[in-house]
Chain A
Amino acid sequence: MSSYILKRILMSIPLLITISFITFVFINLSPIDPVEVVLHAQGVPNITAELIAETKAMLGMNQPFMLRYLNWLVACLQFDFGHSYVTGKPVWSLLGPAFLNTLKLTSVSVIAIIALSVVLGVISAWREGKMMDKSIRGVSFFLTSMPSYWLAALMVWFLSVKLDLLPTSGMDSLKSYVLPVVVITISFAGVYFRIVRSSMISNMNEDYVLYGRACGLPERKITLHILRNSLQVAISVFGMAIPIILGSTVVVENIFAWPGLGTLSVKSILSRDFPIIQAYVLVLAVTFVLFNTVSDILNAAMNPKLRKDL
């Protein structure tokens, strides 16, 4: 098992290097001169040729491309992502808190998503084809297909403005978690509960269920067995839910003025704050690779057959 883990981790390194290189190339392909971006971002009202030359030297932009990339990569490995063009602060000092804020939101949402998908998936599978199953699927289809910004606006208007129950935005108290978490949960649970449901249904038709019933095992015990087996399939899906949600909070964060990665990335993209954009893409890529690796390892731990494939 440990050799599998080692191999799996080693495999992700070239992937990460490729991602970092592509990110760097893409940003350097931008037709806009980064030096001018820096100066515009800093609000310098008049950009002179001397100022451009001075800034270029200061940022090390006059070096060859590969050297710049290597310097950047080496620095990134030491958690030094450079300085924001706009604020001049170290990127990690902006990215770190934003990442934590998004992680807080994501963790609460993932727990809610898993709880809701499992409960709904089980009910739906158990009542397959019945009224209950149909209505759960219908409602979830309706809710998932609603754009999240619209759903969010609707909920803020009703729950915050009309009923005065919750704050409209910000990250001030426990209350401020409710609306963003509900919006994220609604847009994801509808998808994930289907996975639990179909996995449950396919397990229900397995021979061991028939055998259990034949042996007169109580229904509750049989359900637990089915659930345990179905969740094994769902683990890798749920494992990947965390990075997917981390990367897709942009809309929700912007609507709820949540000071997380989504808000930061939009702000950085609009102001062309390249060091932050680069670091943001890299951090997300690492998270994806990391969770992918972890869920592979978990799966392999549960199913020894998978280890041999590598």
Chain B
Amino acid sequence: MTRKTIGLLMALMVSIVLLAACGNDKAETTSPADQRKELVYATSKDINDMNPHLYTGSLPAQGMVYESLVENTEDGIKPLLAESWKVSDDGKIYTFHLRKDVKFHDGEPFNAEAVKKNIEAVQSNASKHTWIKLSTKIASLQAIDEYTFELVLSEPYYPTLLELSMTRPYVFISPKDFMNGGTKDGVNGYDGTGPYKLTEHKSDQYAVFEANENYWGGAPKVSKVTAKVLPAGETTLLALQKGEVDFIFTDDRGADSIDVEAMNKLVETGEYQLVRSKAMNTKMIVANSSQADSPIHKTAVREAIWYSIDRETISKQIFNGTETEADTLFSSNVNYANVALKKRGYDLEKAKEILEEAGWKLEKGGEVRIKDGSKLMIKLYYDVNSSSQKTQAEFIQSTVKKIGIELKLVGEESSSIANRRSTGDYELLFNQTWGLAYDPQSTIAAFTSESAYLHTTKGIAKANELYEKINQVMVTMEEAGRKSLYADILTIVHDEAVFIPITNGNVTVVAPENLHGISFKQTQYELPFERLYFE
């Protein structure tokens, strides 16, 4: 009887597997023939609400579906939905001549009226968009004729075109999709003008984007892009090995969860290629200069910490070479950031010297420097959900110990760190710049914003001069003046060592070996999928 039961059990198990194997398989890996036309990428988050005038949607997905008036490229601002534009001499009136051959995915015509309605919809939800300074400077909007649109500002604002080029909020959705005459309360559909249409979305499972055959720029060659939600990094890697997913990239968190070594192993198989963009952002430690009772209030202490960070080891060991060492707040490929600034390399002796000069003395046998009876102890806050920040923090803790600084590490949730940043309740914390398309203007504008870096910059000697120059640079229309103002701004914060750079991050793509046309946008959050093709 025992043997019989076991036999029965085995039979049951086998039949379960067989039965399952007979099941229909619509999501099974595509065969090599049609794989040439389709791409499946892994994303850690669902595409969410794709309303382009709010901030919950996935940026890479929104970038496929919606388009802006102009495009930000390596060579500057280029036409996109606007064929050409003119800026009035006083810098206040922008006149755009729109493309005439553009239709929304639902067949609605794209024209000046649609542009006006969309920008009005964004403006009616102004409090959500204060980060984008343009939203506070729009005075009026007018559709001059069917394909001419005029934007009037309350004062000149040089980054206007740049901010109009961003993936959100100034992009266009068919006015037919508006709800209650706007987009603030939601939308009825997601019809943009972009190269891909969203055709299917299963929340938290996948989203399918199909090529827009009527795209004004010609239909993209890859006819179907699927975003598959795979929350765990290990799962993504296995799905990649099996071919269920064939494309990953480091969007806002996405492939960061994939081990660098595992990525390299995939490439070694010869079936995948790894492509890296140039530097897109700077990861840094922000020092609170305005905390008068903390040692970090003093430039000398901040400078000493800067000198005692071994960026080479962090880049090679902690980031496995995926991030490069950063010596300044912005890498030199950021507009206006190619400024000669003093280089502060890894130099413990120099750091000790600076502290000695500033009066921080090491007692015989003591480990921590003392000045006026108080110890040189500083707190560094890091994001508990970022394993790399924790490792970096521990590593930095060990090196600053060598120069007599005791660093206390506090791990917290990212929202609580953001809260500390806006209330000024911190000494040091990890942060990063906004990234290529947004820099330098967005990060620099944040120097004056309470919710961002006001506490970081407020305590430095030249704070007022700094803020004045920031206000000036945003309204300066002439290029040379802007250059020199930016140079001054960057020099002030560099000399004061309030933003201590560590590494430059980039976008990494793992793609099938025969996929071509991989390129990057001027932002770390999305990719130009429409340029991809198989060969």
Residues of A within 8 A of B (CB): 31-33, 36-37, 40-51, 54, 86-89, 94, 97-98, 115-116, 119, 122-123, 126-127, 132, 149, 153, 156-157, 160-161, 164-175, 177-178, 254-257, 259, 263-264, 266-267, 270, 272
Question: Known contacts being A50-B127, A170-B205, is A270 close to B451, with CB within 8 Å?
Answer: no
Cross-chain pairs A/B with CB under 8 angstroms, 11 sampled: A48-B130, A87-B56, A98-B204, A153-B238, A160-B242, A167-B244, A169-B239, A170-B27, A170-B228, A174-B22, A174-B24
Beta-carbon contact of A263 and B48 below 8 Å: no
Question: Known contacts being A48-B127, A86-B56, is A37 close to B415, with CB within 8 Å?
Answer: yes
Interface with A: B4-12, B64-72, B91-99, which one?
Answer: B4-12
Nearest-Cβ distance from residue A120 to partner chain B, whole angstroms: 8
Cβ-closest chain A residue relative to B186: A88
Beta-carbon contact of A44 and B242 below 8 Å: no
Nearest first, the 4 A-B pairs at minimum CB distance are A174-B23, A46-B131, A43-B55, A172-B27
Contact partner of B130 (CB less than 8 A), chosen from A42, A46, A97, A178, is A46
Contacts of B202 in A (CB 8 A): 259
Beta-carbon contact of B5 and A257 below 8 Å: no
Count of B interface residues, CB-CB < 8 Å: 60
Contact partner of B229 (CB less than 8 A), chosen from A48, A156, A167, A257, is A257
Convert B229-255 into 0s and 1s, putting 1 for each residue whose CB lies closer than 8 angstroms to a CB of A: 111101100110110100000000000
Interface with A: B13-21, B271-279, B402-410, B505-513, which one?
Answer: B13-21
Beta-carbon contact of B49 and A88 below 8 Å: yes
CB-contacts of B21-47 with A (<8 A): 21-28, 45
Asked if B80 is an interface residue, CB under 8 A from chain A, the answer is no
Contacts of B132 in A (CB 8 A): 45
Contact partner of B204 (CB less than 8 A), chosen from A32, A157, A169, A263, is A263
Asked if B532 is an interface residue, CB under 8 A from chain A, the answer is no
Beta-carbon contact of B244 and A168 below 8 Å: yes
Interface with A: B148-156, B284-292, B343-351, B416-424, which one?
Answer: B416-424
Beta-carbon contact of A256 and B131 below 8 Å: no
Contacts of A177 in B (CB 8 A): 20
Question: Known contacts being A94-B203, A153-B238, A166-B20, is A47 close to B422, with CB within 8 Å?
Answer: yes
Nearest-Cβ distance from residue B14 to partner chain A, whole angstroms: 12
Q: Among the interface residues A32, A127, A175, A263, which one has the most CB atoms of the partner chain B within 10 A? A: A175
Nearest-Cβ distance from residue B453 to partner chain A, whole angstroms: 12
- How many A-B contacts are there with CB distance less than 8 Å? 157
Question: Known contacts being A157-B238, A178-B16, A272-B413, is A167 close to B204, with CB within 8 Å?
Answer: no
Nearest-Cβ distance from residue B3 to partner chain A, whole angstroms: 10
Q: Among the interface residues A31, A47, A153, which one has the most CB atoms of the partner chain B within 10 A? A: A47
Contacts of B234 in A (CB 8 A): 149, 153, 255
Beta-carbon contact of B20 and A168 below 8 Å: no
Beta-carbon contact of B2 and A33 below 8 Å: no
Cβ-closest chain B residue relative to A157: B238
Beta-carbon contact of B128 and A51 below 8 Å: yes
- What CA separation (Å) do A169 and B8 show in the bound complex? 29
Q: Among the interface residues A98, A123, A149, which one has the most CB atoms of the partner chain B within 10 A? A: A123
Contacts of A41 in B (CB 8 A): 56
Contacts of B5 in A (CB 8 A): 119, 122-123
Contacts of A122 in B (CB 8 A): 5
Beta-carbon contact of B131 and A168 below 8 Å: no
Contacts of A132 in B (CB 8 A): 2
- What CA separation (Å) do A51 and B209 show in the bound complex? 34
Q: Among the interface residues B12, B54, B416, which one has the most CB atoms of the partner chain A within 10 A? A: B416
Cβ-closest chain B residue relative to A251: B232
Contacts of B17 in A (CB 8 A): 165, 178
Beta-carbon contact of A173 and B27 below 8 Å: yes
- What CA separation (Å) do A33 and B419 show in the bound complex? 9
